[in-house]
Structure 1
């Protein structure tokens, strides 16, 4: 050690020593930076970084050696053999390349240390080859123990440097590794120089292939500049690459931490390589060490806490096996009351990536959507879709000899409740009906709402028809009981159609169709009752469908015509008006009475087109009559609800040129049962135009007097049911006397319908009835007969 210190302090120029140390430090810093880059890349890129690292390291070692040799006093008198000097540089680069390659290619400490040791050996190889290139007039001897210490110091410090650099790529570890590598190179050189023993020998001559120290100083300075340039370029490249990697890492980290899903990456052995906070929070593993641990160990730890249920080893083995065989798996697991979907996707080269998504709300939404798709939103009863499914299941479950009944229910006059009291009351009524139905049926039976005010029941497991009859009778009674809804007492009936399996059908569609046919029959028979399906019902329904098709076609073929029946003044016998009545001239069936097609037209909505036709035709015909003869046109309740009614009346009057005061529109009390406020508004608008309003079929409703008070009608028409019994029933006479008296008091014209004989006409005249119409005067006739009906005082016709 004394000899080494003496050599360093007495035989070296400290300025050049400092220069050599600076070059060595710079080269070491570049070498460590390039070492990190090589470890961060793969394939050809790694090989390129290793080559650059070996060149920088080798040149740095070589430059440090010869700068230090220039600082060595005895060396200044000699020269350097060129081939051997070049060989020393080759040794420095090639041996360093081998050592760096070994250290970069493994993550195990023993291999990294071995690579560092080879780098240290390269330093020794370069140094002693470089010393062999020295030619001076003296014999060079060596102290063996000091030589061994120099070689060992280079190997140890180089190994420590690469171990430190491989631990982590940060500033502290990089600086520490740089210092250790610099110390290794410098310590080796000056310890080795302390082992030199020079014996002067003037007989030794300098060879021809030698280079003087001055020239070598130029070469080493050039080498040092090259080292610095390479190091700077490498540092810039490394900084740029690290910046890009840092930016990519930041993007990756941001993406990972802002994912709605949890993510965890495992290597081929099932060790956790990467995870985000969402994963740890979702599985409540924030208080468990995860990085670098085997998943099975984490599961065992949770199992010990009671947070994992199942065989952790078996579960882990399955995941590893699936990843090795390249299988993608999807599972739904329950954790802390949450449903989590886990997708395990295998990676190339082994391992897998697992994504974790909390699908609790999604599953609840799906269940809600599924429920909504198969249940009625208002009553929560099964809807038509679910009813069909349960009906199919019921048909499959019924054993031989068992009977299944399908009951279709329709509330009677529910539309009137909706129109008069409003939809909220109607909805509340439907809910209450659904509740009563559910409470009335058996546990194995199904109640559904098929739409609107239509319900259905499937009765299963009863072997006798009487069971269905009993249930239907009970439902009619239960549904007809009064309802108390928002301070309104509501009474409503129900009509029920029943079909039985197997006699009335063996599939859901057929059973529902037949029950619906029976329901139509129950409604036609007066409502508030039930009917079983009968074979003839299908034929009647078919006839009704054919009539509907004919009705639609008749509109296209102009088969309808307006007929007119005269209305006479009772006192003078003069025709004061004609009532327009619709007739259908069917090409095969002849003249079809209104009673056979008007109800169907109202149900199908075709009454709107028919009403438009009658209004236009009648106004056009009436415009040709004398000015003192008026026109009366009936308005259907369906037609009156049409928002275009006012426009239609205005257009008919405008096109025909008929004075509005000559038009009289007849409405029934059912029109007034609708939205009363809107109805009265429409009536007042018509009156404002000059059109007169007549209340038809007076006396057959429930609130006639209140209607007369709410709207000033121009005329009230006494229903034919009272006129036909006028001569035989005292109560009919009393009613007509009261109505005519009421008309006189209110200044309203009274017209009696259905007058067929002179006795009835005389009684009406005696009671003060204003007008009369009926077969006594004429039956309805086409427009071409109007002139005849005006000129003849009476045209008797048989009813």
Structure 2
């Protein structure tokens, strides 16, 4: 299950690292212009415009043709009227016949206008008359003579030479000129648009015709075609301008659409750090943008809640599992044994508790170092996991102490004995770690429920007594608990007296480890770490005497000395830096803890803001008891630090319930920071979550450059770190010298 969780988390991290273009093929390829909404709308609009302009152009051409022909007919009719008017003025003997519109449609004359008698009477020959008409109409005019045999063949004209005439267009035969006619006629191979008025005698017999032209066909159509060209050119120009304007309007109208599509795509890919554009538009695009922004905000909230859930799940896992061996830890052990005790009472399901302690682990650690020691613990955990059954649980309690909760199928004693022998055999086989091969052994103490107890405390105490017996018998063996087993009571009493004497004789002293700002690499404060220079055992680290002090009730006295000493040292530092002091949950339950802190501040003169109280998360905090104490400490102006955040009981709930102003991310999370992406993601989320709540954040156990560089890359202003990478814990005199040097440099 843990492997699957890691794989899922790793996939999520890799997916977050991908860019939106890598995840979305549409963004990676981009859109072809004609596939986009802008292109489609522009194409449809331009097609509509082209169709409209095409219909308009056709109608325009038709109208130009109609107007041209109407103009030609009107001009021909006008020329005919002018011709008839001049003829009537010259030849007074002629009469005219008109239609209902007043248009002269025929001329009546007793004799042809071109005979000698008519010329003598009028004094005008036909050529003079035709010249006068042409002068008035500005176009050629012809006087035709008609006979039934040859038709209109011989006539006078303004050119002064006889010509033959054949009709064209609507005058496809000679009978067309026998009545009033307007249209095209072919004269001497040229086509003219003419108006023709027939000349008849009193009896109505056709004797000739007078024909007036408005121009040659080519000249007329050249003007006509030029008008059409101008019209088409104007249409094309208007079409081009319309297309440009429409395209510009469409592009500006739909310009936000690709951006909004990209925004939605980024939101779908959980990239929600950019605000949605175009929200200020007062139209449908603006409404769409504002709707997308609401979606983005909702996705941000959802993503934040999801990350918090994932963080809570990871922290839940870390709280119940050992960070080195990945076995269930002491917290999981307590929960599991409590569940088994409930089943014992309700279902009668019995179980065994095996406590396992590695023999000769300390020499391995001292000889080959902590790296080899850690590999040995990991290998031990793997061998234990291979031995337990499906309903059993292998646990690391801490250090080199392990436990197994064994489900009993039939009989407690033989099943426990079988498993114990397998454990002894497995752990006595040679180990090879970092190229070093060595052999260790183990000691086992067994308590069977309910024979040896029906509470968690009784079972653990009895198994521990059995383990002590195994060690007393030379180790590499196992023992069941039996009545009468006891530890040497003088040990704790002797150690109690030694601790009291150590406080009186000033055998305890403080080392200080610096806390450094990641942004400026400047020291912001120090953590006070207690040491014991034992007169017989030498220099002892806190883990040798703190837990014993808690068990024998001396932790309050030792803690009081620690708080007073740290405040006194910090008050005398040449540069004002914070000092943090570790306080266990046992001390918080002591009624005098508040007076201890208050007196230490008053006696030393240290400003309360420079003191921080670190609360370890190794044990659960009782809300009813602890919360009022922490609130009272906070009221003094003292900072409260949650130490070991991310492991044990120090979970997210603590940040909401208790008034912490500062957290320290636990060292197990930092250890594999440069090698494990899951740890990087978890540390990053924890830090940002705490900083968002206004808390200061410190990373504990920074020992490598890679760890430091990753933490610095988070770029958080209020984030600090401590660990061997910045320096080991030193005595107060070294702190004084360092601060004096820093003060001189800053001056």
Q: TM-score, normalised by structure 2?
A: 0.37
Higher RCO (CA-CA < 8 Å; seq separation 6+): 2
Structure with a larger share of its residues in helix: 1
Q: TM-score, normalised by structure 1?
A: 0.35
